[in-house]
Amino acid sequence: MFNILRSYSTVTGACLAFLVLSLSSVFGLFGQNLHFTDTALKSFLLQEMSLDLDSNGLADAFLDANSDGEIQQSEALQAKRLVIITGQNYPILHVGDLQAFTQLKSLHLQRNGLIDFVGLQLLNLQEVYLSDMNLMDRVDLSGCPNLHTIVLESLSHLKHLNLKNGSFANQSFSLFYTNVVESACVDSIQAEYDAVAQCFLNGNSPSYTCSMGQNTTEQGLENQNPVIAFPNPCSNFLNLQAMEKPVSIRLFNLQGQELYSSSQTNSVPMAKYPPGLYRLLIQSSNQSHCISIVKE
Ligand SMILES: [Ca+2]
Ligand SMILES: [Ca+2]
């Protein structure tokens, strides 16, 4: 009897030990602190809001949910939509650390010193917005095969763009290229500004299948800004100052829906729209320009 009890308790003990080990390894995995090679990126993610929970293009929650001053694996896996708009305060140079954010669907990077966007393999990523980054010269999205929306805007030194991935030739990408990037030719892919802009002008959900082309010349990378919109961020009204009188002014949300259109105006009423990111398309007699507008 004693032996039976002893073996029973040994088995129970072994089971408990196994359970404890399993649980600790599970919690160990998800509770693991992420290591960041780019400390500015880590600082930003800890100190500023970066999660966009309501999909309006503006951050509204902190990634460090348990406020322990570290980003755990579990916190990274909760991130579906990440907004990183840093200004001068966080000199982020690379985005490779975002590789741990494997559940990301949408990534928005704006106004920082990033010099490239390369090396990320994110299978769930569907949308990428890159704008107002004057130092960025290389964008390689070939590790993100499920992208359907790519917005590249005001990347005045962008020279190398790679959208190529295994199924690229059969896929349709939505691209908005605005004012400064008129033609991106990298590897064998050429995406032409005019065709994309035309889709946008038609008010459709913009969709443009890049063709495989031989032409790799770069053209029209002038850095002019013929339209000024202010204040931006705005609240009730957005004022426009254009070198040439606009023929039409149209406001879109991030889903591509047209919210407002006018031919005779130098200000756009914004009061009735919810806070978020919008795009203003200004067409003059011979060119069109797109500006990102933040409504507070
Ligand atoms: Ca939001
Ligand atoms: Ca944390």
Q: Say if CB 121 and CB 127 are below 8 A apart.
A: no
- Whether 269 is covered by a domain: the verdict is yes
Report the CATH number that the domain containing residue 258 is assigned in CATH: 2.60.40.10
Query: ∠ CA 189-250-191 to the nearest 5 degrees?
Result: 5
Calpha distance 173→188 (Å, rounded): 16
Ligand nearest the Cα atom of residue 51: 1
> What are the angstrom distances between the C-alpha of 92 and each of 64, 83, 110, 129, 152?
18, 14, 11, 16, 18
Ligand nearest the Cα atom of residue 108: 1
Task: Using DSSP bridges, classify how beta strands 211-212 and 189-192 pair: parallel, antiparallel or unpaired.
Answer: antiparallel
Give the distance (Å) from ligand 2 centre to CA of residue 281: 40
The residues, ordered by sequence, that sit 6+ positions from 19 with a Cβ below 8 Å of its Cβ are none
Element (H, E) at 44: helix 39-47
- Whether 125 is covered by a domain: the verdict is no
Nearest to 193 by CA among 164, 203, 206: 206
What's the number of domains the chain is made of? Answer: 1
Ligand nearest the Cα atom of residue 72: 2
State the pTM of this model: 0.62
pLDDT given at position 99:
95
Calpha distance 109→149 (Å, rounded): 14
In three-state secondary structure terms, 37 is: coil
Running DSSP on this structure, what letter comes out for residue 238? E
pLDDT given at position 195:
44
Give the distance (Å) from ligand 2 centre to CA of residue 144: 26
Ligand nearest the Cα atom of residue 57: 1
Look up the domain containing 239 and give its range: 227-295
Q: Say if CB 122 and CB 104 are below 8 A apart.
A: yes
- Whether 258 is covered by a domain: the verdict is yes
The residues, ordered by sequence, that sit 6+ positions from 32 with a Cβ below 8 Å of its Cβ are 72, 73
Give the distance (Å) from ligand 2 centre to CA of residue 29: 14
- Whether 7 is covered by a domain: the verdict is no
- Whether 165 is covered by a domain: the verdict is no
Nearest to 134 by CA among 107, 118, 108, 154: 154
Tokens representing 149 are 């929306």
Question: Which residues are paired to 72 by β-bridges?
Answer: 33
Give the distance (Å) from ligand 1 centre to CA of residue 216: 38
Calpha distance 86→41 (Å, rounded): 9
- Whether 231 is covered by a domain: the verdict is yes
Give the distance (Å) from ligand 2 centre to CA of residue 61: 13
Give the distance (Å) from ligand 2 centre to CA of residue 34: 9
Ligand nearest the Cα atom of residue 294: 1
- Whether 198 is covered by a domain: the verdict is no
Nearest to 144 by CA among 115, 175, 166: 166
Query: ∠ CA 136-157-103 to the nearest 5 degrees?
Result: 30
Ligand nearest the Cα atom of residue 76: 2
Give the distance (Å) from ligand 2 centre to CA of residue 93: 22
Give the distance (Å) from ligand 2 centre to CA of residue 102: 17
Ligand nearest the Cα atom of residue 254: 1
> What are the angstrom distances between the C-alpha of 136 and each of 82, 131, 188?
19, 10, 20
pLDDT in tens, the chain (296 residues): 545 445 555 555 554 545 444 444 444 555 799 999 999 999 999 999 999 999 888 899 999 999 999 999 999 999 999 999 887 788 888 889 999 999 999 999 987 778 889 889 999 998 888 887 878 878 888 788 887 777 777 776 776 667 655 333 334 444 544 433 444 433 333 344 444 444 444 444 333 333 333 332 223 223 345 678 888 889 999 988 877 777 788 888 776 678 999 887 788 999 999 998 888 877 777 666 667 788 98
Q: Say if CB 268 and CB 245 are below 8 A apart.
A: no
**Can you give the C-alpha Rg of the chain in angstroms?**
24
Give the distance (Å) from ligand 1 centre to CA of residue 215: 40
- Whether 249 is covered by a domain: the verdict is yes
